Amino acid sequence: MKDISLNFQELAFIMEIPVAEARVLFEKIIGEKPKVVNYLSVSALKDNFGTTRSLNQRYDGVNQLVFNLRYKAKNYLKYVNDKSIIKKKGFTGGKKIFYKIMSDEQKKHFERVINYKYKYLYKK
Q: Which one-letter DSSP state was computed for residue 4? A: P
pTM: 0.86
Task: Give the per-residue pLDDT at 70.
Answer: 87
Residue 70, C-beta contacts closer than 8 angstroms, at least 6 positions apart: 1, 101
The span from the CA of 99 to the CA of 104, in Å, is: 9
Q: So what's the pLDDT on residue 1?
A: 52
Q: Which long-range contacts (C-beta less than 8 Å, at least 24 apart) are formed by 46-50?
A: 49/15
Please identify every stretch of the chain with a pLDDT value under 70, giving residue numbers as ranges: 1-2, 124
